[in-house]
Amino acid sequence: MLRFFGIAALLLSFSGCSSFSYYTQVIGGHLNVSSQRQSITKLLTNPDTPQRLRTQLEKINALRQFAEQQLQLPANGNYSHYANLQRPYVVWNVFAAPALSLQPKTWCYPVVGCASYRGYYAEEKAKRYANKLKARSMDVYVAGISAYSTLGWFNDPVLNTFIYRSDAQLANLIFHELAHQKLYIKNDTQFNESFASVIAHEGVKRWLLSKNDPSGYQAFIEGQKRQQLFVELIKEHREKLTKLYASNFSDTEKQDAKNMIQKDLRNAYQTLKTQWDGQAEYDAWFSKDLNNAQLNTVATYFDLVPALEALLSKNHADLIAFYKACRDLKSLSIEKRKHRLELIPI
């Protein structure tokens, strides 16, 4: 029973709640994913495996090897199996924040601490919970998630939800998730996601260069530039909202001004897109409400990226030294860790 509870607590680490019904869906969902796993080695030797899938699985094996040998990431038994879940996402995460605040709602659970999202293995259940939060006048954002890491407690499988991505996208995802196993700091979602993003970006660059793929590398760099402009755009408008929410305006006035800032953000994105030669990878994101919960997701994944990239540069792109520098931050409080990173010249 204790071992079973330990598994439940671990699984809750990515989206938790203490209710029995939530434990049930998390455990059931994870077991369902695990039950559909097939050995990649066996799939590659099976003549009935479709060629398209075979090609991608071979890439996965190469990425695992590269991650271990060149990025010093602990692949271990991860991504050695494949599961076709027959759905577009493995989980759906619910993000929430007050209507007039950018302070994200967090959920806490045993073993791994708190996180700013709560996940469901069924979209309907995620939306049902989101509606309960909306009824409490909260801003809510539901996002489909292609992959997650169990931090080495389980061997994470390759899923149909991401297997057919481009080479760069596939490498980015694998390196990102494996980075969570390299370093995870309890209660600090922003650091964890930013750290994994930096490792993934650095890993993809090295991967594409090792493949002697100049066109793929150039496409990746251009995508990184668009991502940076997107992040800066969101940051600019989040700062406007922060000032608004801290003002002495009435709640009604704040809500009206919030609506205008959201409108300005949409217009600014359309202007920005004119520089991108038809690239529209953020259109789906901008089709949503652009509420506080949604804007917070960008902060979670990217706000600390510039400082961590500067720390990597300070260590001359030596990943072993960078990992040590990041581990040295682990003993600090969230506030002190963030302050220490902010002191690094960018």
- Say what the pLDDT of residue 150 is: 82
Which residues make Cβ contacts (< 8 Å) with residue 55, sequence separation at least 6?
none
pLDDT tens by residue, 141-169: 999 999 988 877 788 999 999 999 999 99
Distance, CA of 168 to CA of 204 (rounded, Å): 6
Mean pLDDT value across the chain: 91
Distance, CA of 208 to CA of 228 (rounded, Å): 20
Is the pLDDT reported for residue 45 higher than 50? yes
Chain-centre distance for alpha carbon 333: 22
Average pLDDT over residues 35-58: 97
Rounded to the nearest 5 percent, the helix, strand and coil shares of the chain are 60, 10, 30
- Contact between 141 and 289 (Cβ < 8 Å): yes
Distance, CA of 119 to CA of 253 (rounded, Å): 34
CA geometry: angle 109, 182, 10, nearest 5 deg: 20
> Of residues 24 and 86, which shows the higher confidence score?
86
Q: Where are the domains of the chain?
A: 2-172, 215-342
Distance, CA of 316 to CA of 305 (rounded, Å): 16
Of 22-26, 194-198, 203-207, 233-237, the one with minimum mean pLDDT is 22-26
